[in-house]
Structure 1
Amino acid sequence: MLERTREFIQLANAMSFSKAAKELNMSQPSLRRHIAELESELGFMLFERNPLTLTTAGCHYLEGISTLINDVDSLTARCQSIAAGSRESLVICSIPFDLGPYSRIVYESIARMRTACAAFAPTFFYSGVFTIPEAIYSGKADIGVVFSMPHEIPEGFTCDPLMDYRGMIWAHKDNPGLKVSPIRAQNFAGSVLVDSTNRMYTTWRDGELEVLEKAGVSPNSCLRGIENSADFFIMMRRNEIKVTMDLGTTICPYNPDVVGVLPEDDEFVIRTYLLYGNRPVKPQVASFVDLAKQVAAETL
């Protein structure tokens, strides 16, 4: 069923039997048969045919099963490293947000470690069930990027500052806070901060609250079942906001009705940290921490 499910995800992304079959390196008849077998096993239709579209049940299944498949892949990679006793493995836990400047530090550090050691095998742990600190403390990941210093750090773990970024507020173009000059965080005191039921995003929420509260704003919040960081902006309503690091643009790439502003408040700063175990520090973790700090220093 696992392989059939992977084929389903591929087909759902391609929305074409011919394209998906080519990407999966299999024949169209085989793919059609596998999808029919999966539907029979599940007891409901995943697709409408002619034209090929996801059913309502198929849409819900795709949303949930994609996360589960990611969890299985992360767990498999982790167990393979444990079984092999690899000293070159590293499991990283961070919010999947490619527009975040911190992500460039992560990717550049990985690239440099690969250059230095061909056997280096990084993987990412992603699960909506755990917060990033929980993933680190439980041993599911070796190192995590967090946006707020955890209130309590268990013995045997370290949380090192990585880099500070100027904070940016994103709001719908009709948000009243954008109509007041100068632009300050207090303008958005009546806005709602959107949070996700996915617990991986908890650190983003904590970082947002920290910087807003320092600016004298204690916003109300609402929860949504958001799995993709882009959806925070795609689904943003008139009275809602999100706070990010300065992305170097005021134009939202996901929604033309959402704009970014840099508040004039002093110290409107989002801080990032590296959280990891230190008893002892795994060699690959130590190397990654050193490189990440080096890359961060180069970007100042």
Structure 2
Amino acid sequence: MELRHLHYFIAVAEELHFSRAANRLNMAQPPLSQQIQNLETEIGVPLFYRTKRQVELTGAGKVFLEKAYQITADVEKACVAAQNTHQGKLGRLIVGFTGIATFNMLPRLIPAYRAMYPFVELTLRQLGTTDQVQALLKEELQVGILCLPVVASELNFEIVCRDSFVVALPKDHPLAAESHIDVQQLAPESFIMTTRKVGEGYHDGIINICRRAGFEPRISQEVHELQTSVSLVAAGMGIALLPGSIQELNIKGVVYRRIKNAIPPLETAIAWNKNQKSPSVENFLALARSVAASIATPESLYSL
């Protein structure tokens, strides 16, 4: 039995007339009658009462019609599901993100993606850059939003945001009176920083900024979240060099000041495994590029 046999049977059952059913199916009546007879022979029961005047469903035919409707509907749903999955409109997408992404990319990207692809099961996992890289290599994540630099030849990276550094200071700090601060002025300060495990590139970048200014930063507190850094600055525990987008986090008792020195910006990138072929990933990347363009001009695709 093939799916076409069910379509033949449904047409006859709905028309209760072989000629009309044949016209509806764009076929001749004799082959249709033969197909229905073959179907009845295969099932082993009559599906229709036939007379010269009329055609009626048997009791078995009525039951078979109900099941035939279910089968053809399920096949149609399966086809649509397969098409949607192929187009990235159905399935599951697991995305990792760093804390800084919650201030630039994520608030714009996620609502837009959910609106465009409501039937994709989107799972977000907040992870540091180092952990994201490992998860992407193990294919536990399909996409990561992380901080560069990262060295991983198995991954693709595309810059989506460049963020200038600012200094977060307690509001009553002497340097708070200045509009711009030289990095050298921070030499005596106690630094609050995220741990290196959260993101090697980000952590080492701050160390290098200070070293180029001629001093080794005195790290008094290490934290796992950028937001925690700001809270500890408000508590007077020290100062912090942070991405400028962190200013969206308006915590009482903290002021942000620009830096005079020419410092390379913090680069946020989307990352994915080179073996990743999912249409959902392609859709997410395309939308991320569009969102990035509304924030700043993204860099071209490159591999590290």
Q: 1:100 to 1:252 in 2, by over 3 A?
A: closer
Query: Which residue of structure 1 lines up, in the alignment, with residue 158 of structure 2?
Result: 160
Partner deviation per Cα, 1:191-238 (whole Å, 9 max, x = no partner): 3332345944656534544655566664232444x4554322222264
Partner of 2:94 in structure 1?
Answer: 91
Q: Which residue of 2 aligns with 1:52?
A: none
Distance in 1, matches of 2:195 and 2:113, equals 34
Distance change in 2, residues 1:245/1:130 (3 Å): closer
Q: Determine the structure 1 residue equivalent to 2:81.
A: none
CA contact (8 A) 2:163 2:265 kept: yes
Q: Is the partner of 2:126 in helix, strand or coil?
A: coil
Give 3-state SS (helix, strand or coil) of 1:262's partner: strand
- 8 Å CA contact 2:166, 2:257 repeated in 1: yes
Cα distance in 2 for residues equivalent to 1:111 and 1:182: 35
Q: 1:122 to 1:137 in 2, by over 3 A?
A: same
- Which residue of 276, 282, 290 corresponds with 1:280? 276
With the length of structure 2 as denominator, give the TM-score of the two structures: 0.56
Q: 2:231 aligns with which of 223, 229, 234?
A: 234
> What secondary structure sits across from 2:241 in the alignment?
strand
1:45-64 mapped onto 2 (5 Å cutoff): none
Looking at structure 1, the residues matched to 127 and 246 of structure 2 have their Cα atoms a distance apart, in angstroms, of 29
- The residue that corresponds to 1:117 in the other structure is 117
Residue type matched to 1:261 in 2? R
Contact 1:164 1:271 in 2 (8 A): yes
- Say if 1:181 and 1:298 are closer, same or farther in 2 by CA, change over 3 A: closer
Native 8 Å contact 1:184 1:263 kept in 2: yes
Q: Confirm or deny: 8 A CA contact 2:98 2:147 kept in the other structure.
A: no
Asked whether the 8 Å contact 2:96–2:126 carries over to 1, the reply is yes
In structure 1, distance between residues paired with 2:284 and 2:99: 18
1:266 aligns with 2:269: no
1:136 aligns with 2:136: yes
Residue 245 of structure 1, aligned match among 243, 249, 255: 243
Residue in structure 2 matched with residue 39 of structure 1 by the alignment: none
SS at 1:240's partner residue? Answer: coil
How many residues align? The count is 207
In the alignment, which residue of structure 2 is the partner of 1:16? none
Counterparts in 2 of 1:138 and 1:215: CA distance versus 1, 3 Å = farther
Within 5 Å, give how 1:18-57 maps onto structure 2. none
Q: Determine the C-alpha separation between the residues in 2 that align with 1:182 and 1:107.
A: 28
Deviations 1:67-106 (A, max 9, x none): xxxxxxxxxxxxxxxxxxx9631111112457622xxx23
- Contact in 2 for aligned 1:169/1:244 (Cα 8 Å): yes
Which residue of structure 1 lines up, in the alignment, with residue 29 of structure 2? none
* In structure 1, C-alpha distance between the alignment counterparts of 2:185 and 2:217, rounded to whole Å: 11
The change in CA–CA distance for 1:119 and 1:265 in structure 2 (over 3 A counts) is same
- For residues 146 and 219 of structure 2, what CA distance do their matches in structure 1 show? 20
Deviation string 1:103-143 (CA, Å, 9 cap, x unpaired) is xx234323232232221121112368962222322323222
> Secondary structure, in 3 states, of the residue corresponding to 1:140?
coil
Aligned pairs for 1:212-231 (under 5 A) are 218-224=216-222, 226=223, 229-231=226-228
Which residue identity lines up with residue 203 of structure 2 in the other structure? R
Larger Rg: 2
Tell me, what secondary structure is at the counterpart of 1:134?
Answer: helix
**Could you tell me the percent identity over the aligned residues?**
15
Q: Go from structure 1 to structure 2 and tell me whether the alpha carbon gap of 1:179 and 1:117 turns closer, same or farther (over 3 Å shift).
A: closer
Structure 1: 5+ residue runs without aligned partners? 1-85
User: d(CA) in 1 for partners of 2:215 and 2:160?
Assistant: 25
Paired residues of 2:180 and 2:257 also in contact (CA < 8 A)? no
Secondary structure at the aligned position of 1:159 is classed as strand
User: Are the equivalent residues in 1 in contact too, given 2:161–2:268 (CA < 8 A)?
Assistant: yes
CA RMSD in angstroms, aligned pairs only: 3.5
Q: Match for residue 15 of structure 1?
A: none
